[in-house]
Amino acid sequence: MPRKPKFRHPLREVRDAIGKSQQQFARMFGVSASYVQAIELGQRPINDELCDDIALRLGVTARSLKQERGMPRALLEEKRIAAITDRETGAAIISELRLRRGTRERLRFQVDRWRKMLPAIEGSIQSQDIVLRKLFLFLKVSVTHQEKKHLSVLRQLDRWIEDQTERFGLRTIVKALAKFDWRPFNEMVLLDLPFVAAQKSGHAARKARPRASTRRSSPA
């Protein structure tokens, strides 16, 4: 029997909101049940990766999950609902939310509503566009920075992409869809070295040059 702590950790509140046991919840997020139990007992801190994953999938803020006790803060608060939905839809959701009197009942409703909305969020082109803009600006700043952090940034970014490709089991489909040379960053950097680039350009020029015909023309 798991020990009951003298306080309720935000993770416990979220888990109860979706009606999962520690083992079921752990399986949902790819962690061990003992880790979930240790967090809820206050024996171990919750890591950033798990916080972000729960925030995305269940609609509570990552910061509120790091509290030692108390209710987590839902992303679908009244002001935010009004800001991201049209008036009619927002009014209906807020009206339902206000019917939930207790904080735990409200949290269950907010988490459930978020999970129903998540598929539309997953396919949002706007979210992808914002992230891509941030990425391009980030790379631009790394190039123009006084200490020239560009290569270091690219190496770290490439390593993260490789790690996430493995984590989400995307290696096969990524390679099938990639229309460019998908290799580790350290190998790609070697191709940009001056003598390698010169060798490549010389090879390309020779390849493009028309070959002289070795066949003799017959006399007229």
Q: Is position 220 within any domain? A: no
pLDDT digit string, tens, across residues 20-62: 999 999 999 999 999 999 999 999 999 999 999 999 999 999 9
pLDDT digit string, tens, across residues 192-208: 555 544 555 555 555 65
pLDDT digit string, tens, across residues 89-146: 888 888 888 888 788 999 999 999 999 888 877 766 667 788 888 888 888 888 887 6
CB 90 within 8 A of CB 71: no
Q: Is position 158 within any domain? A: yes
- Provide the number of structural domains found in the chain: 2
How large is the greatest C-alpha to C-alpha distance in the chain, in angstroms? 106
What pTM, to 2 d.p., does this model score? Answer: 0.64
DSSP, collapsed to helix, strand or coil, labels residue 89 as helix
**64 lies in the same domain as 105:** yes
Q: Letter for the amino acid at 180?
A: F
Final residue before a domain boundary, out of 122, 151, 186? 122
**Range 75-80 contact pairs with CB under 8 angstroms and sequence separation of 24 or more:** 75/110, 75/114, 76/110, 76/113, 76/114, 77/110
**100 lies in the same domain as 34:** yes
CATH number assigned to the domain comprising residue 40: 1.10.260
DSSP readout, 172-220?
HHHHHH--S----HHHHHHHTSHHHHHHHHHHHHHHHSPPPP-SPPPP-
CB 40 within 8 A of CB 60: no
CB 11 within 8 A of CB 46: yes
**Range 188-195 contact pairs with CB under 8 angstroms and sequence separation of 24 or more:** 189/151
**45 lies in the same domain as 106:** yes
